Amino acid sequence: MSDIVFQSVCKIFPAVPARKGERDYTVLHDVSLNIRAGEFMCLVGPSGCGKSTLLDLMAGLDFPTDGTILIDGEPIKGPAASRSVVFQQYALMPWLSALQNVEFALEAAGVPRNRRRERALAYLRLVGLSDFAHRRPDQLSGGMKQRVAIARSLSVEPRVLLMDEPFGALDAQTREGLQDELLRLWHQSRQTIVFITHDIDEALYLGQRVAIMTRNPGHIAEIIDVPFSARRMETNVRRLPEFSALRHQIWRKLKPDALPPGTYH
Amino acid sequence: MSSPAQTFTASSRSVQAQARDAGAMARRSVQITAQLLKYTLAPALFVLTWEMLPRLGIVNPVFFPPFSRVAQAGWHLTVTGVLPRNACASIMRAVTGLCLATVIAVPLGMLISASRTVSDMLSPLLEAFRNTAPLALLPVITLVLGIGEVSKVTMVVYAAFWPILLNTISGVRGVDPVIIKAGRAMGLSPANLLLRITLPATLPTIFTGVRLALAATFLVLIAAEMVGARAGLGYYLNVAQANFQIPEMYAGILALSGLGLLSNGLLFWAGVRLRIVQWRNVK
């Protein structure tokens, strides 16, 4: 269990000197955010609002220009097995089978050889892919590939799971199935999950809290507590009136951003 | 308990099934024959034309002996060990050269493409070298290294080096950035990223480079052997021509194309067995 604290984080990508007239680009401006240990936090925002950059910073793949990010009180020094990333494009090694892909992550995390096979199989079972362990990614559907990627991320038993629009490339039915599965897995493990999406419904359906990001520059506009998150397992919360009310509230917050400047609204 | 009617239907069904099986088998053998025909028809026609044109006097049989004469000469050369000895000499040079080129070009290509600046700086030079026909260097290499084994293997290394190097570089550039990112997120060191992700992801492209290099290898090797050698298929072709052993010369050419086909096939087979080719093709 880990809590993640952003203290006025800024991220500026410097202008390329060769391109005249280009100015430094501020992706994130003064982001302060407190993600609690064991929480399911969704970040929702339009493309270009810096949400993927925010995730890169948490993963240790990039560093803030200004401000600090603390995990359990310690600043992030780089990638670590305690923080695992799931990418939208699955990011599986195409030459390895599903099983080998999971074992690869276990090896990278320093799990001894004799324990890898068993653990990889256990996590593939967890995502319902026992029968497909020996298939390579090109022999799996998009939904199955993302399950392998999730199994791979979970197998290293991270304290924080970082998910960058993981279901963005999937069809609606597969997406809903995987959303339920993810909730089930989270209820078992209670890891900290930071889930990035541009889909308001998805954010409301999954998150305990939803952070709304807007762009130019990217910052957190509002954080919403999702009141019905605890009832999710027994009721179809998508049908609740509160759900539509919240969806509308977020939509209004994002609306000026989603439309090109100057559009009447 | 089964009534006669049921037995009847059951047995008639099995008869039907047998008939279906027999039909399927017949169709299958027709399919196989058709496939065989499809792939042997053109070569068969070629050989037939080769045989007939000199025999009918349409082409001069002195310069173009019929296929049967060439086959006879080839058989004789094989039995007496002339062809195997020369082929062996060529194969040794080709294999040595190709292996050396791969061992040098792959790590160098990985190193060059590790830095965008370095590869950009080297690219004009690489383009110039790549577009210089390797044979243009034959006089230089002969001048410096003489006509021994070293000069021939050097020629092969040079010719095979470029396709492998350039394919390695473009292969590394083509690696899906997201799997590199995934590797970084797993905490892999730069060396491990290169060896465990970039290299395996680049293997299919490198493999294509080696196959291109194989073609270049034979081209250059035969030319080098024609310039000065005491053995090798290129040397033999020249000798046969000089001695007016025309059917023998053609037999040497046939041996060469056979060698090319065989080595390319072997390489492809190895690629499939090592699963280098497959996942790329399915994609």
- Furthest-apart CA pair in chain A: how many Å? 63
Instruction: Report pLDDT for A2.
Output: 66
Contact state of A91 with B186 under an 8 Å Cβ cutoff = no
Nearest-Cα residue of chain B relative to residue A80: B187
- Please state the domain count of chain B: 2
Nearest-Cα residue of chain B relative to residue A91: B179
Task: Find all residues with CB under 8 Å of A114, minimum gap 6, and list them.
Answer: none
CB contacts, 8 Å: B282 with chain A: 138-139
In terms of domains, do B80 and B216 share one? Answer: yes
In terms of domains, do B165 and B228 share one? Answer: yes
User: B181, B192, B193: which to substitute to probe chain A, counting the most A Cβ within 10 Å?
Assistant: B181
In terms of domains, do B139 and B278 share one? Answer: yes
Handedness of CA B18, B23, B29, B31 (dihedral sign): negative
- How would you class A16 by CB atoms within 10 Å of its CB: exposed for 0-12, middle for 13-18, buried for 19 or more? exposed
Task: Find all residues with CB under 8 Å of A120, minimum gap 6, and list them.
Answer: A99, A102, A103, A106, A133, A151, A155
In terms of domains, do B24 and B101 share one? Answer: no
Instruction: Report pLDDT for B1.
Output: 41
d(CA B228, CA B6) in angstroms, rounded, equals 85
Residue A217: asked if its preceding bond is cis (omega within 30°), the reply is yes
Give the residue from A92, A81, A28 showing the smallest Cα distance to A59. Answer: A81
Q: Which stretches in chain A have pLDDT values below 50?
A: 262-265
Contact state of B184 with A95 under an 8 Å Cβ cutoff = no
Q: Quick check: A85 contacting B, CB < 8 Å?
A: yes
Contact state of B283 with A138 under an 8 Å Cβ cutoff = yes
ipTM: 0.86
Given B64, B95, B116, the domain boundary residue is B64
Q: Which stretches in chain B have pLDDT values below 50?
A: 1-8, 279-283
Segment 121-150 of chain A within 8 Å of chain B by CB: 136, 138-139
d(CA B70, CA B50) in angstroms, rounded, equals 10
- Given a contact cutoff of 8 angstroms between Cβ atoms, the answer to whether B49 and B60 are in contact is no
Strand A66-71, strand A74-75: pairing: antiparallel
In terms of domains, do B269 and B129 share one? Answer: yes
- Given a contact cutoff of 8 angstroms between Cβ atoms, the answer to whether B55 and B61 are in contact is yes
- How would you class B27 by CB atoms within 10 Å of its CB: exposed for 0-12, middle for 13-18, buried for 19 or more? exposed
CATH number, domain of B129, equals 1.10.3720.10
Instruction: Report pLDDT for A93.
Output: 94
- Given a contact cutoff of 8 angstroms between Cβ atoms, the answer to whether A219 and A67 are in contact is no
Structure tokens at B202: 């680049």
Query: What pLDDT digit, counting tens, does each position of A196-221 carry?
Result: 998 999 999 999 999 999 888 888 88
CB contacts, 8 Å: A89 with chain B: 176, 178
Per-domain residue ranges for chain A?
A: 1-82+160-237, 85-157
Nearest-Cα residue of chain A relative to residue B281: A138
d(CA B198, CA B176) in angstroms, rounded, equals 9
Given B64, B84, B111, the domain boundary residue is B64
In terms of domains, do B263 and B160 share one? Answer: yes
d(CA B73, CA B247) in angstroms, rounded, equals 6
- Given a contact cutoff of 8 angstroms between Cβ atoms, the answer to whether B161 and B104 are in contact is yes
In terms of domains, do B172 and B257 share one? Answer: yes
Residue-number span of the structural domain to which B30 is assigned: 1-64
Q: What are phi and psi of B258, to 5 degrees?
A: -60, -40
| Burial per residue of B6-24, b for 16 or more beta-carbon CB atoms within 10 angstroms, e otherwise | eeeeeeeeeeeeeeeeeee
Strand A209-214, strand A219-225: pairing: antiparallel
In terms of domains, do B191 and B74 share one? Answer: yes
Which CATH number is A1-82+160-237 given?
3.40.50.300
In terms of domains, do B151 and B265 share one? Answer: yes
Size of interface A-B (CB pairs under 8 A): 57
Contact state of A61 with B197 under an 8 Å Cβ cutoff = no
CB contacts, 8 Å: A84 with chain B: 185
In terms of domains, do B149 and B212 share one? Answer: yes
Q: What SS3 state is found at A163?
A: strand
In terms of domains, do B168 and B33 share one? Answer: no
Contact state of B186 with A87 under an 8 Å Cβ cutoff = no
